[in-house]
Amino acid sequence: MPKGFVYLRDVDPTILQDMRYASEHNFTGHAVPGYDAPECVLVSQAAEALKAVQAELREKQLALKVYDCYRPARAVKAFVTWAKLPDDPKAKSTYYPALQKRDLFPDYVALVSSHSRGATMDLTIVPLNPGEPASPPPGTPTPCTAALGKRAPDTSIDMGTAFDCFDVKAHTRVPALTPEQQQNRQMLVEAMSRQGFKNYEKEWWHFTLEREPYPDTVFDFPITPRAQSATPAEVEK
């Protein structure tokens, strides 16, 4: 990795990781190029700021869970290629039930992503000991806008939609939410803001460190497995 990048696990192993693009559990239906390991990689400043957010949430018996962090530029190109393929009915009904593929760019899937600068991440809040998420009823795929327990299983507190929900309901501030969902989103935004993160208004889960060290640099190194023997002290060296 370039100098200044770290594995989040080496900075704060208590932050949960559910790295969707290293698996089939994402809107493309398969692992995305560049995600060779299910690890959150960030610039050290962003990782340390997340550690501070985590410390605050733990006092409330809550914790962070990240879905995506640094994103190689090759992954962004793969998303553009995916957009040109015929629709997968299952993916459409789950991730963008009210939109067409062509409508996803650039509001929801950027042609050049801030994730590729290493200071942007997608995340949510979960109970400190989340346990196993409830599975939705078997049958046809449920949209990301469905009620908690009826959409794809997750350990997140109720944010009103699932992660990677390409829909107006995923905009951070919308009226079509319950008071609890609104409060949960506001709690996430405020906790992140106190540590220098700014939310993207069209995705409640998307945050960027305002004082990012590489504001004009797009990286393309792959995310590789973390050395199991590494310790925080060794990483700092």
* Domains of the chain in sequence order: 5-220 (3.30.1380.10)
Widest CA span in the chain: 51
Beta carbons of 155 and 15 less than 8 angstroms apart: no
pLDDT digits (tens, 9 = 90+) for 113-147: 999 999 999 999 999 987 766 555 555 678 999 99
Low-confidence ranges of the chain (pLDDT < 70): 132-140, 228-237
Helix 44-58 vs helix 179-193: angle between axes, to the nearest 10 degrees? 130
pLDDT per residue as tens digits for the range 184-193: 999 999 999 9
- pLDDT at 71 (0 to 100): 98
203 is catalytic: yes
Residues with Cβ within 8 Å of 126's Cβ and at least 6 positions away in sequence, in order, are 16, 62, 63, 64, 65, 155, 156, 157
What integer pLDDT is reported at residue 231 of this predicted model?
44
Token digits for 33? 């190029």
The pair of structure tokens assigned to 64 is 């962070």
pLDDT at 234: 42
Looking at the chain, which runs of residues are DSSP E strands? 5-7, 16-17, 41-43, 62-68, 120-127, 197-199, 206-209
Which entry of 203, 210, 212, 236 is annotated as an active-site residue? 203
Give the Cβ contact number of residue 231 at 10 Å: 10
Query: Residue 122: its pLDDT value, please?
Result: 98
Say what the pLDDT of residue 138 is. Answer: 56
